[in-house]
Amino acid sequence: MPSLGGRPEHCLSCGYPLEGLPAPGACPECGLEFYGGLTMLQIAGVAKRGPGPAWRKPVWVVLFIGTFLWIQSAALLWMMGVFWISLLLFVSLVAGLTAMGVTARQGSVGSEYFAITCAGFGRIPVGGKARITEFVRWGEGTPAVRIERVGKYWAKIRLVRKVPDAKPEVLLDAGFRCPAEDLQVVEQLIVRLISGEGLEDRDSIPGYEKSVLMASDVRYHQGA
Ligand SMILES: [Zn+2]
């Protein structure tokens, strides 16, 4: 379920321990801003699998053309008595295809937490070492957030950055767990984080007091 969080224990970008540093501040290691108070929205989700590294496509094309040429030339090379060229080509093709198969699962994404702040959002894989794999800054332009209901407890989120004269850039395309009636609240919280307004005035969001986010809020105030 989505929850609110305070200042992260470790930098969301590089993992540097932030304990003892006054908030708001910037990470001494990488300069990423962090904030005090309830300034982080955490949602658990599963990101859509990306297209994979850019080099895979040209490698597939080369392997495909190589296979085609090998089929065309194998008999001819054999007849010419240079069958070792044919054999060498065959071994290279098999090695190439095996390597592509072995690396195919790289880039697949499992469950992760998205930690959303005024600076951008971090992606923390669930399970294993809680190591940040990526921090995406909001950067130029104001990213648009679109949340769509999928089921009673499941929704889709898309964060898209539009910069004039450029193709819109999808920053996040993921499914996440959230009660359907709280989706509006989550969307409003994200809008406030992206705009830099912060979550100070979160009580003014309609439905906030009754939402699941209130649970983490109450706990925070009791602990503070
Ligand atoms: Zn850092």
Do 145 and 214 lie in one domain? The reply is yes
CA of 16 to the centre of ligand 1 (A): 5
CA of 98 to the centre of ligand 1 (A): 38
State the pTM of this model.
0.72
Q: Is the pLDDT of residue 103 over 70?
A: yes
The mean pLDDT value for 45-51 works out to 76
Give the pLDDT of residue 187.
97
**Residues paired with residue 111 on neighbouring β-strands, in sequence order:** 46
What are the distances in angstroms from CA 220 to CA 13, 137, 157?
Answer: 24, 26, 26
CA of 45 to the centre of ligand 1 (A): 23
Count how many domains the chain has.
2
Do 146 and 93 lie in one domain? The reply is no
Give CA–CA dist 163/168, Å, rounded. Answer: 7
CA of 134 to the centre of ligand 1 (A): 11
Q: Which residues touch 140 (CB under 8 Å, ≥6 apart)?
A: 161, 163
The mean pLDDT value for 140-153 works out to 91
CA of 38 to the centre of ligand 1 (A): 19
Domain carrying residue 174: 3-50+109-223
Q: Find, among 146, 139, 217, the residue nearest to 187 by Cα.
A: 146
Give CA–CA dist 39/189, Å, rounded. Answer: 10
CB-CB neighbours of 52 under 10 Å: 14
Give the pLDDT of residue 139.
84
pLDDT band at 219 (very low <50, low <70, confident <90, very high): low
Do 150 and 194 lie in one domain? The reply is yes
CA of 114 to the centre of ligand 1 (A): 17
